[in-house]
Structure 1
Amino acid sequence: MKLQRLRVEQVRQFRAPFVLNDLNPGLNLIHGPNESGKSTLVRAIRAAFFERYRSKSVQDLCPWGDSSAAPTVELEFEHQGTQWRLIKSFLKRTRCDLTIGGDSFSEDEAEERVAELLGYEYSKKGGSKAAHWGIPGLLWVEQGTGQDIEQAVEHAGDHLQSALNTLVGEVASSGGDAVIDKVTAERGALLTRTGQPTGEYRQLGEAREGYQEAVNDLESRVAQYQQQVDRLQAVTQEFQKHQQERPWDKAQTSLEEAQARLAGIQQLEQQQQRELETLGHLEQQHELTAQNLAQMKRAGEQLAERREALEMAEQRLRTTESQSNTVTGELVAATEAYNAAARQLTAARAQDQRARLVREKEQAAQRKQTLSEQLEKARTYQVQLNEALKQSQENRIDVEAVAELKRSDRALREARIRSEAIASRLSWALEPGVLASLDDHPITGDGAEQLLDRARLRIAGVGTFDITPGGDQLADTRRTLAEREQSVQAQLDKLSVPSPEDAEERKARFEAAEQRRMHAEDLLRSVAPSGIEVLGVAQAEAASELEALEKRLGTAPEVVKANVPALAEAEVEFSRAESRLKAAERAEREYQTLLLTRRQARDNAHSEWHRLDREFQSNEHQKKLAGLEERFGALSAEKREKAGRVERRKEQIRQARPDILRQDIDRFEKTIQHLHDTQVAREREMREIKVRLEAWGAEGLEEQLSEARVGLEQCNRRYQELSRRARALDLLLSLLVDQRQALTRRLQAPLQKHLDHYVSLLFPEARLEVDEQLQPGRFSRGRELGHVGELSFGAREQMGLISRLAYADLLLEADRPTLIMLDDTLVHSDQSRLDAMKRILFDAARRHQILLFTCHPEKWQDLGVAPVDIEHLKKSPPTLA
């Protein structure tokens, strides 16, 4: 099978017709960036083959946002020298037509012909699924699924098995299957498929574990019983010993002695705290007196500092007053420049407004002309649409009913053919002048008649013959023929047509009218998307807008001044003048603020200097200074005396170590509590052990242990018997299966031959084997051995493609059609493996047609074929069918 041409229309992003033709019979590299439509083309091919033309589950084919579309896919391919052409339309205009050479088929019959050719089936309900795809599902690899081959092989298994049988015939007899099944059943009673115990074997294993757990538990409990007896004796002795010695009384005496010593130290600490508070007050008074004394001594220094500050403030004020003329002059110049720029900006804006009105008038006139032309076209298209609607109404017919009539008419013809095949045939050759009649209808000369019912032949001068047709199926055939004739006539009456041919002609006229109607609707929407009325309103609005602009232009003032700058230039100049004015105003405000600030600073400095000078020269100041010096000396002596007493008491408290006394008190209290709690715990433990020993003694642990050991021994004997039987059956089944697989390998040999061919190109000295279900299984390379599913992701993808190519070779050898489609495959292969896979693809393309879709054409430059660019094809006009 060689695909030659693909055409899609109204399929996802391909709203307009898109054609992919002149495909090579071997390797085809089709590339484009992401979202260019590669996966859409793959989906279209799958839909053309896998989906029923009347299926409603193909909404994903519609262009985005267009639920009224009718996705259409057209395929042309060659098989065994015969040209096939398949056309399918979905959803709004369901249709399926197939041409094979000079023969034509349609609808269900066309679909079944294609499915039979390629080896797949349709879903009975809903959309097509992988379980229905058969051979194409194996050879057509969707994006990201190249490594998943098991399900595809399973769904195509019957077709692959049929191809193998065609090549080598049935080699695996069923004679040994009964033995294998018997051994498997016997083994299955004891072991699962994975070799785990089941049935009585598993139950005995569980019972054995239960007995063993019971024995272990009872042995543990007997040991615990003995341990508890020993523990009770030890705890009782400790309890009696502590009751006699009473160690907590000694600890209580030590606690009371430590508390008495701590109370004496706490009295000293209280006295020390009071002395420290008094010393703190003295230190505060001493420090405050020292600060006051130092402050009064610094009064002369502060007076000189204030005089220097006054002279500096007066100098700064004189400097600031000298800048007045400069600041005022800049403000006047900036104001004049701002006013001139404002006048220029007003003139420029008037000039720009008039120019803008002229441009808007020209645009409105152009828009009015465009809308007028569209309105004229829309009216023409509306007339065409009305005519198409009229013809569609006149020829309207139920398409499904016509299809049903066609099927009924076909069934009627088949019934007539069957009736003619089983009916009795009456032939005659009468001499000239002989008078005869059949069921009162005259007959002469030569002739023949098919008889389904009883008939009477009358020959003048001879007599009458009654002819009764025989045959077991004659009555049923006669009834079936009558029913189908009535059904066809009823359908003709329902459609109001005289014959099926007239119904087909009326259907063709109706579909042609619908095509013209939809074309006229498309044209009408292209010029009037919202309708003619809305377009007319828009045209009237455009005319009104043009008239209003002409009036505004007539009233707009004309600028007659010379040297009027452009609006942008005037705005820049105005902005510059405005910024200069703002800067000058800000500078003037800052100057006035600075002037006021410096005058205030001069006045403050003068007031402070005058106050200090007056205070320093007074007698009261001198007397206060002498009193502070006397008080400072008295406070210093009292402070030294208090500090000495505090230091001596501090040493006395330190030597008594009150922190250690507090620790001793805490230690003795905890010791007393611990001794009491331990004695109470011993008493409680003694009671609990006695209760526990009484309970265990009543249970009879020794007797229970003996019974459990007997049950464990009996269970072990039966378990060992079943274990030996299970191992024997497992070994026997393994030997039988190995023998069965030796026969199966003869059946797998043709497929294994093709697998070995491809694997050797990728992994020299490697081998990939298939199992009984023809699934890729064990993979070996040198001393390495494992399952193909244990390989890396990239290697599994490569093995998946190699396996598919081998299946294709097998199908081709059995004279079955093959087409290989790969959507962005081998993306996880490193460069060396990718080069090897290119060699494999080039080799396979000598026998099969391969469509390789990719978004990385640079990786396939050395594939030996010219690439097909989807984006370039989109820009080219579609080829007419």
Structure 2
Amino acid sequence: MKLRRLQVEQLRQFRQPFVMDDLQPGLNLIHGPNESGKSTLVRAIRAAFFERYRTSSVDDLRPWGDSAAAPTITLDFDARQKSWHLVKSFLQRKRCDLTIDSTSYSEDEAEEKLSELLGFQFSAKGVSKPEHWGVPGLLWVEQGTGQNIEQAVEHAGDHLKSALNSLVGEVASTGGDELVEQVKARWSELFTPTGKPRGDYQKLEKEREEHQREIDGLQARIQKYQEQVDRLGKLTHDYERTRQERPWEEAERQLEQAKERYRQVEKLEQQQAQEKEILKHLQSRQQLLRQNQEQLESLNRKLDVRKAELEKAQRALEQAEARSPSVANSVQEAKSAYEAAAKKVEQARLQETRSRLEQDVQRLDQQNRTLTQNLEKARQYQQELEKAREQARQNQIDVKALKALKDTERQLKEENIRSQTIATRLTWQLEPDARLALNGEPLEEQGERQLLEDSSLLIPGVGTLGITPGGEDLASTRRRLSTLEQSLTEQMKTLGVDYVQQAEHRVMAYEAAERTLQHTRELLKSVAPVNVEQLLADEKETGARLQAAKSELQNSPAPEPGQHARATDVASAEAGRARAETRLAEAEAEERKHQTELLTRRQSRDNAKAEWQQLQDEVHSPEHQKQLQNLSTELADIDDKMGRLAATLKAREQEIQEARPAILKQDIERYQRSISTLRQAQEERQRELRDIQVRLEAWGAEGLEEQRNERVAELEQCNRRYQELHRRARALDLLLNLLTEKRQALTRRLQAPLQKHLDHYLSLLFPQATLEVDEHLRPGTFTRGTELGQIAELSFGAREQMGLISRLAYADLLQEAGRPTLVIMDDTLVHSDTDRLEDMKRILFDAANRHQILLFTCHPEKWSDLGVAPRDIQAMKEQGSTNPV
């Protein structure tokens, strides 16, 4: 089967017609990004073949939001050496038309032809499902389902077996099947489907096991009984021997001897501790006496140090006194510089004060002139404000009353218009000498009147004509006109105007006066923010401040002659004074530091002299010599006592170590535990003797050996019945295996053509590997070297690859049997690594020599070396939009 052309319209995202033609008989690589429509085209092909045209369960084909759409699919393809043209529409325009060469089919007949061609079934109700898809469901791989092949093979199994039978002939035997089924039925009476015993066979096996467990239990209890008898004899012998020997009494005697030795060692340790305290006290006394002796002997050294310190303090004092004149001169120079800088600051502040007063006089003079001008303008604006207020008072009018007046006038005009519409119209055109009179008013030449009331027309020489206007609304119209005219007159009188326009003119004049008032107020506020009185007060205050500033300027001291030429600003003068003050402070601080140094060094000299004199008197005193002699005598006596005490301690320590108190303590603990253990062991023997005697009496009453003999007899009887069924089961199992092996040999002969194609593709992907198919033609056991397993145990990518090569093998089998094939792959092999993908490209290129393959992908760069020109869906869509079908 070769698909040549595909067209979709009003189907999902393809609202406008989309055409993909010139499809090649081998590989066709169709690519586009996600959501470009690849899966939609695959769904369209499936719908064209699998879905009933009359079904209403294909809403997924409808473009989003378009309830009036009629998804339409057109296919042109070659099959069985004929040209096929299929057009199928769904939903709003349900139709199916099929043309095979020049023969046309429609509706159900057309769909049956498609089902017969490709080997699938239509769903009886609702949308098509995988179990209906048959061969196309096996060869058309949806996105993300390449690794799932078992169900697809199962749904296409009948068609595959039919193709195999057409190749190798009918090798199965129905008679053999009946025999296998009979044996399997007899075998099933004794075994479950998993090969476990069932029924009587299982019951006898369980009884046999139960009897054996009871016998084993009784035998164990008999053996235990015998062991207990032996144990009773041994325990009785041990108990009597221990009761006579009483070994714990010897342990008690040894315990008392160990305690006595340990008490003697404890006394020695107490004496040792007491004499160690005495030795420690003597050592402390010796250390204190040595410190006193060293302190007294150090006075001579201190006397030499004090002499050197006194001479050093005297020299430092003389050096400090030599710097006193220089320090006094620095202070005097700093004071002079500070006084000069202070005078400069005073002159600068005086000059700054006069400059400020001159600026204040100028500012206040300018401010006084400005206030005078503003006062004049304020008085002028006040006069204009009074005029505007008077104008507003004269033209003030009630706006609501004016609105009512205008409404009345409008109503009157509307009534006049209405009256003219329904009034009796009198028109005339007289001869030059003719005369008429209407209600006593002469009429001349030509004219027109509208009459609302009864009127009389006088015709000289003829008489008087009475005119009575007609119409249902005429009387009410006359009344409304009269009422409105009266109301209009009263409203004008109330407002004090003679006509409506006069009232409007007054409103306009009032509004203009109000605007003038607002503008004048703003002008007045600009020159007198508070009021005129406040402005007048500000002017007087500013004048007074101006006179005070002038007086202060005249009374301020004039600068010294030549001062203007060398005038310095206050900041610079104050900075100079600050620097002078800093230098003065530094000089004074240096002077204070020098005085402090003098006092410190003089005090140090005096202190050093006093300490030297005091230390000299102390060193040469008789008391000092006597203390040194007493300390030497006492130290010699302490050294003698410490020597004798250290010898005693060493001898006693040796005696304590030889006694080994830690080992004595362990001996005491060991003997105590031995006594407890020996007594407890004897008690345990006595208690166990009583328990065994009671237990043996109870077991002896049960007759264990008699029970065992009965159970042995029952087991032998059960064994005989079990062996009969067991031989039958083994015979049936052997027969079924032989029949099954023969049947499998026939099946392998049937599967040989499929296995041939499968091995061809597998050798390209996994050299030296094998993939076997089961009796249902499903790929199962995979072998590579020493590895053996099922396809389901492989990685996801490997399962996807094995699924694809299996489908290609099925396609080769179908083609060999003369069945049409078409392979469609939607984004498959996305989980393959680089090396495996390269092998799969070789496989696809090889299969394309025998089948048409439509490969849809969103990764065209991975298939650039496939040997075919890629087709871009996006580009075809854009081309279709510029060149509509």
User: What TM-score, normalized to structure 1?
Assistant: 0.54
Partner residue in 2 for 1:355: none
In 1, Cα distance between the equivalents of 2:27 and 2:312? 100
In 1, Cα distance between the equivalents of 2:613 and 2:12? 109
Cα deviation 1:264-312 (Å, max 9, x = unaligned): 2112212322333343444455556666776884968998999999999
Asked if the contact 1:214–1:708 (Cα under 8 Å) also holds between the matched residues in 2, the reply is yes
In 1, Cα distance between the equivalents of 2:723 and 2:109? 65
Stretch of structure 1 that moved more, 757-766 or 668-677: 757-766
Letter of the aligned partner of 2:240 in structure 1? Q
Partner residue in 2 for 1:348: none
Match of 1:648 among 644, 647, 651: 651
Partner residue in 1 for 2:776: 773
Asked if the contact 2:310–2:609 (Cα under 8 Å) also holds between the matched residues in 1, the reply is no
Asked if the contact 1:30–1:853 (Cα under 8 Å) also holds between the matched residues in 2, the reply is yes
Counterpart check, 1:77 vs 2:55: no
- Deviation at 1:728? 1.6
Q: 1:711 to 1:146 in 2, by over 3 A?
A: farther
Counterpart check, 1:26 vs 2:26: yes
In 2, Cα distance between the equivalents of 1:302 and 1:10? 117
- Deviation at 1:226? 0.9
Partner residue in 1 for 2:261: 261
Partner residue in 1 for 2:827: 823
Partner residue in 1 for 2:237: 237
Cα deviation 1:153-175 (Å, max 9, x = unaligned): 12332443455567778663433
In 2, Cα distance between the equivalents of 1:16 and 1:283? 117
Q: 1:615 to 1:780 in 2, by over 3 A?
A: same
Counterpart check, 1:42 vs 2:39: yes
- Deviation at 1:228? 0.8
Counterpart check, 1:863 vs 2:862: no
- Deviation at 1:735? 3.2
Matches within 5 A, 1:442-461: none
Counterpart check, 1:174 vs 2:164: no
Match of 1:695 among 694, 698, 706: 698
Matches within 5 A, 1:223-234: 223-234=223-234
Partner residue in 1 for 2:199: 199
Counterpart check, 1:249 vs 2:249: yes
SS at match of 1:175: helix
Cα deviation 1:115-166 (Å, max 9, x = unaligned): 7876556888998765455434422345665444222212332443455567
Partner residue in 2 for 1:671: 674
Matches within 5 A, 1:342-353: none
Partner residue in 2 for 1:208: 208
Matches within 5 A, 1:297-308: 297=298
Match of 1:710 among 710, 713, 725: 713
Query: Where in structure 2 are there 5+ consecutive unaligned residues?
Result: 324-585
Q: 1:643 to 1:757 in 2, by over 3 A?
A: closer
In 2, Cα distance between the equivalents of 1:128 and 1:646? 111
Asked if the contact 2:310–2:608 (Cα under 8 Å) also holds between the matched residues in 1, the reply is no
In 2, Cα distance between the equivalents of 1:173 and 1:743? 10
Letter of the aligned partner of 1:696 in structure 2? W
In 1, Cα distance between the equivalents of 2:89 and 2:306? 114
In 1, Cα distance between the equivalents of 2:305 and 2:89? 111
In 2, Cα distance between the equivalents of 1:98 and 1:306? 131
In 1, Cα distance between the equivalents of 2:605 and 2:84? 123
SS at match of 1:774: coil
Q: 1:306 to 1:141 in 2, by over 3 A?
A: farther
Asked if the contact 1:19–1:878 (Cα under 8 Å) also holds between the matched residues in 2, the reply is no
In 2, Cα distance between the equivalents of 1:15 and 1:611? 117
Counterpart check, 1:734 vs 2:737: yes
Q: 1:826 to 1:728 in 2, by over 3 A?
A: farther
Asked if the contact 2:34–2:858 (Cα under 8 Å) also holds between the matched residues in 1, the reply is no
Counterpart check, 1:723 vs 2:720: no
Between the two proteins, what is the percent identity of the paired residues?
A: 49
Cα deviation 1:790-822 (Å, max 9, x = unaligned): 778766554432221122234444434523315
Please tell me the root mean square deviation across aligned C-alpha atoms, in Å: 5.6
Letter of the aligned partner of 1:175 in structure 2? G
Q: 1:48 to 1:4 in 2, by over 3 A?
A: closer
Matches within 5 A, 1:785-864: 797-812=800-815, 813-821=817-825, 823-825=827-829, 827-828=831-832, 831=835, 835-853=838-856, 860-864=863-867
Partner residue in 1 for 2:155: 155
Q: 1:128 to 1:680 in 2, by over 3 A?
A: farther
Letter of the aligned partner of 1:682 in structure 2? R
Letter of the aligned partner of 2:187 in structure 1? R
Letter of the aligned partner of 1:697 in structure 2? G
Matches within 5 A, 1:81-100: 81-84=83-86, 100=98
SS at match of 1:681: helix
Cα deviation 1:52-99 (Å, max 9, x = unaligned): 88659969x99xxx999999987653333223456779xxxx987766
In 2, Cα distance between the equivalents of 1:779 and 1:876? 48
Stretch of structure 1 that moved more, 834-843 or 866-875: 866-875
Cα deviation 1:467-512 (Å, max 9, x = unaligned): xxxxxxxxxxxxxxxxxxxxxxxxxxxxxxxxxxxxxxxxxxxxxx
Letter of the aligned partner of 1:673 in structure 2? S
SS at match of 1:189: helix
SS at match of 1:773: coil
SS at match of 1:213: helix
In 2, Cα distance between the equivalents of 1:758 and 1:43? 30
SS at match of 1:201: helix
Asked if the contact 2:825–2:854 (Cα under 8 Å) also holds between the matched residues in 1, the reply is yes
Q: 1:744 to 1:265 in 2, by over 3 A?
A: closer
Query: Where in structure 1 are there 5+ consecutive unaligned residues?
Result: 319-591
Cα deviation 1:825-855 (Å, max 9, x = unaligned): 2844673x65554333112213323233557
- Deviation at 1:186? 0.2
Asked if the contact 1:77–1:84 (Cα under 8 Å) also holds between the matched residues in 2, the reply is yes
Letter of the aligned partner of 2:77 in structure 1? H
Asked if the contact 1:96–1:111 (Cα under 8 Å) also holds between the matched residues in 2, the reply is no
- Deviation at 1:670? 0.8
Matches within 5 A, 1:5-404: 5=6, 23-30=23-30, 36-37=33-34, 41-42=38-39, 45-46=42-43, 49=46, 76-80=74-78, 81-84=83-86, 100=98, 130-131=130-131, 133-141=133-141, 146-161=146-161, 163-164=163-164, 172-284=172-284, 286-287=286-287, 297=298
Q: 1:87 to 1:127 in 2, by over 3 A?
A: closer
Letter of the aligned partner of 1:821 in structure 2? M
Cα deviation 1:741-760 (Å, max 9, x = unaligned): 45555654554454355446
In 2, Cα distance between the equivalents of 1:611 and 1:762? 110
SS at match of 2:190: coil
- Deviation at 1:199? 2.4
Stretch of structure 1 that moved more, 759-768 or 215-224: 759-768
Asked if the contact 2:11–2:71 (Cα under 8 Å) also holds between the matched residues in 1, the reply is no
SS at match of 1:866: coil
Q: 1:144 to 1:234 in 2, by over 3 A?
A: farther
- Deviation at 1:42? 3.4
- Deviation at 1:682? 0.6
- Deviation at 1:250? 1.1
Stretch of structure 1 that moved more, 635-644 or 48-57: 48-57
Q: 1:45 to 1:306 in 2, by over 3 A?
A: farther
Asked if the contact 1:766–1:780 (Cα under 8 Å) also holds between the matched residues in 2, the reply is yes
Instruction: Mark the structure with the bigger radius of gyration.
Output: 2
- Deviation at 1:188? 0.9
Asked if the contact 1:11–1:72 (Cα under 8 Å) also holds between the matched residues in 2, the reply is no
SS at match of 1:852: strand
Asked if the contact 1:85–1:100 (Cα under 8 Å) also holds between the matched residues in 2, the reply is yes
In 2, Cα distance between the equivalents of 1:609 and 1:188? 130
Asked if the contact 2:36–2:873 (Cα under 8 Å) also holds between the matched residues in 1, the reply is no
